[in-house]
Structure 1
């Protein structure tokens, strides 16, 4: 339950709706508990009138609410039994309508409040996703992340809406009913309420089991969601390797685990709810039996009307008391989900704005000073004593074997990670002292792993510069060498791209990704092996246009291939996180048995681009 304390800020934010909802619950139940008192009056009135016991008892109002007393005084003025019963029945109907009206207002306040809280929570969770760094997403599956923002938030909403409503309803019904029952007959009330302590013990025992089983269900559901999401995303790979049966078996195992946990919880609830109904039934039997004996022996002023009143009260308590189990289940499940949300929301990202961080207008100068970096999740040492100075407007190519640290340079410049030792300086300022969002906003980056959104071609390119005109989008596409193919689509730039760009070829996806970066017009451009999927002819076209586009800009081209059409100021060759060779194309070609020279020769002979070891 302590985990639900985090919801206090939301209840305070919507305190007016919550307060109004509680008031409407109380008013609804107030009019509800008045009906049994009127029923008692009608039964007693008819009984005493027909048995001619004397008119002095016809208007006896012991234990009635003040409002009911006034009603009785007014009703008895009509005289005849038929008129009294008719008027009293109409009043009961009016009270039922009033109860229904306040129930409507109750739902319009409390349930609507829960939807507002759900909206706020989802925004808070999504904002936290945006704040967290790359390491978090490497260590958590997409299915688990989706489960938190969907299933967990949904279970918490059920607590902030229906569960709160049931709890308030339960308290007000029990308090009002027991109060008027005691006013009517203390002795009969005690007998009727005898089963309640037993009910409390059952609730306590069962709730512990419900809480544990709810946590297991949530964990199993996360595994199941992850399995399904990975299957959907990798369906082409699954079909290519004919692994449908293997994936189904894997899914079946997770599904079976979820089924077992869900059935175990269902079994507990299946025993729980009938037990509550049994106890309510016992209370009804006590009412009839003991009340009947009191009436027969004329004890404790018990009348037929009192017995009817108590039976109505007991049945009135049936749903709220039986809902204790349902409400307890809602609360326990919400607590388990809120615990997961709290743990997630309490994560502090490693990459964040330091105190005093300010935006800096980058000019393209970069300095790596004795930088060391090891990936925290794998322990792989990517850069060692790395030193590199890049002047404003320089064009730098970075190449090397797989795992030599090329992509790490781009990741550090974007502050996806922070260096373990050393410093990275841009525009004479350590990037740790810069506003991280302003830093990334000024870098045009084409990642190695292309990602496109399930949106139009135009919006995917415009993603790099929200608010860009169609003309700017087209210009960026032309530089990236993809404009001709986009124009060939049936809907041109309005063509919808499938999830992750599934409807496009690898080369088209890469070039749209390049266009998205180029539209930013940044002072620093980083291409991370972004032309690996295009043919030689298209590559020449793109590199030819890039020569003009990159004029005056600092460019870092990370690649396995040698771009002869692009004039680089320097070519950096990495090996195990260190600079093994650097210089111009001509200088590197003169190094005997150098890595770059061998790479270039292999490329010219068409033998591949990766260094064999």
Structure 2
């Protein structure tokens, strides 16, 4: 159970509730165990009455007293059981809440490399299915374990007080039970781990299928996808059945051993009664009730063991991610003022997951308020530069200077708060259009939202929707066209009024006319702000203070638009090509 030790901090956090719950559990079980003693008393009273040792009035009075005690103990025990569940089970929900938040916070801290190496379905499974199994350990497993221990201890004490020899015979099956539980629990742990892994594979497969449903339909590969899912589901089913086969041994074994205990009580108790070793047949009835009161607790030993083994396997999977140290750390606690001065000095960057060197000895300087345009073919390293400015990756060769300081010496939260980023592939949330734009500035007014949308040339599209700005988008913004998604993403960035604006080929899906209008608006918005525009179009770059041309991760040309069109090279060829395309239209 070493993996489950991670939860100890939460048990300490809610120790008061747990201790109260444990105390109530013990008291509730004690009231429940009053029943066998009063059943024995009823047998003794009946025997005395039939042996004419007790008058009818006394017989009725004592019988009524015993019955009332049994009913009263049951009522009090039931009420206490209710409060027991309120305290202990509620704690498990609190722990589930805290653990999910802890995992989610860790997910937020982990770098892009982590998400490149792990699938979304697996990440979701660990924060849902795995946490759910851990919750069963933190609540029901603890509650039933306390129940079992309390019943065993008190019941055995009562049984040995009544008849030590009969009690000894009754507990003979228990060592066998312990051995069976030990053997089965090891196998359950192994198979539970495999089951959880397959659940993650299923979650990943379905998540990717739903996200890529348009591609699946476009290629007409629904039958193949269904067949692949069926194969994976069948494998998962077999692993679940393998686990169920082992778990299925528990209850039959428990019931068999309890049945054997009952037979032992009836046989040995009957012989002792005949031989006069026990004074009343009520003792046998009392022992049978004790044994049957222990039936559920003994049966739950197997169930609880299964829960703990599954929780151990799940917590191990959770801990694998919780133990990962974030690659990008905020090394500066004090606030850093960001003005927008950015400089790359001899920066070389290699992606460790692919070993591809995206940038080679990159040098440039963008002063505060200037605009830099980056032009180049696909895969030339343009987007990587933007990722490094946002410190989504750390570099190991060269220096990135922000405000005359090394980027890792700048407060990370301040750096990212000062950046407005428009990615190449616009990601919108399944929320209203208004909230998607306000994602850039949570407290923005409706007027600010509309103004940002107008500057991004998407306002006219939005007001045509039935619900306008309150229109709720489909997952990943599927409701909108590619150009509309890009423009909403631009609105989200500019509403923030950041010091640094990063545009990653964000106008690729809009027509030339709309591009001109957006660029005209951006020229006004970006005054006084450091702006870096990545693009395949010369029209997006021509007004920049400086332009750099990348090829295979290296700067092959740099200068202004006017200087570069006079130099034979990639920029001039691209300019002439796009100019001819525009003229022909």
The two structures have a TM-score, normalised by structure 2, of 0.98
**What does residue 61 of structure 1 align with?**
none
Instruction: Please state if 1:605 is matched with 2:585.
Output: no
Name the stretch that deviates more: 570-579 or 162-171: 570-579
Does structure 2 retain, via aligned residues, the 8 Å contact 1:291–1:302?
no
Is it true that 1:174 corresponds to 2:152 in the alignment?
yes
Could you tell me how far apart the structure 1 residues matched to 2:540 and 2:453 are? 22
Q: Which residue of 1 aligns with 2:209?
A: 231
In the other structure, the counterpart of 1:23 is: 23
Does residue 506 of structure 1 match 2:487? no
Partner of 1:546: 522
CA drift of 1:48 comes to 2.8
Aligned residue for 2:186? 208
**1:272, 1:100 → 2: CA distance?**
27
Name the counterpart of 1:14.
14
- Please state whether the residue corresponding to 1:239 is helix, strand or coil: helix
Deviation at 1:49, TM superposition (A): 2.9
Counterpart check, 1:303 vs 2:280: yes
User: Is 1:376 aligned with 2:361?
Assistant: no
Q: Does 1:324 align with 2:290?
A: no
Segments of 4+ moved more than 3 angstroms:
none
Of the three residues 248, 254, 258, the one matched with 1:270 is 248
Deviation at 1:253, TM superposition (A): 1.7
Which of the numbers 411, 414, 431 marks the counterpart of 1:438?
A: 414
Aligned pairs (5 A) from 1:461-500: 461-500=437-476
Aligned in 2, Cα 1:476/1:166: closer, same or farther, shift over 3 Å? same
Residue in structure 1 matched with residue 509 of structure 2 by the alignment: 533
- Provide the C-alpha distance between the structure 2 equivalents of 1:99 and 1:357, rounded to a whole number of angstroms: 55
CA distance in 1, matches of 2:339, 2:204: 43
Q: Distance in 2 between matches of 1:272 and 1:91?
A: 35
What does residue range 334-413 of structure 1 map to in structure 2 within 5 Å?
A: 334-354=311-331, 356-413=332-389
Question: 1:607, CA displacement in angstroms?
Answer: 9.7
The C-alpha deviation readout for 1:376-415, integer Å capped at 9, x for no partner, is 1110101111111111221111011111110000000000
Corresponding residue SS for 1:563: helix
Are 1:84 and 2:87 matched, yes or no?
no
Deviations 1:544-603 (A, max 9, x none): 1111111121111001111168511111001121110011112111222x0111111221
Q: Does 1:32 align with 2:8?
A: no
Do the aligned residues in 2 keep the contact of 1:540 with 1:565 (CA within 8 Å)? no
Question: Offset at 1:605?
Answer: 2.7
Shift of 1:424: 0.5
SS in structure 2 at match of 1:488: coil
Q: Which residue of 2 aligns with 1:518?
A: 494
**Does the Cα contact within 8 Å between 2:541 and 2:547 map onto a contact in 1?**
no
Cα contact 1:370–1:423 (8 A) shared by 2: yes
Shift in Å at residue 357 of structure 1?
A: 4.6
For the residue of structure 2 that corresponds to 1:573, the secondary structure is strand
CA distance, structure 1, for counterparts of residue 374 and residue 110 of structure 2: 29
How many residues align? The count is 583
Q: Which residue of 1 aligns with 2:570?
A: 595
What is the 5 A alignment of 1:91-106?
A: 91-106=69-84
Give TM-score scaled by structure 1 length: 0.93
Query: 1: CA distance between counterparts of 2:234 and 2:175?
Result: 38
Equivalent position SS for 1:362: coil
DSSP 3-state at the match of 1:504: coil
Question: Is 1:117 the equivalent of 2:131?
Answer: no
With 81-90 and 166-175 compared, the bigger mean Cα shift is at 81-90
Displacement of 1:351 in angstroms is 0.4
Alpha-carbon offset, residue 417 of structure 1: 0.2
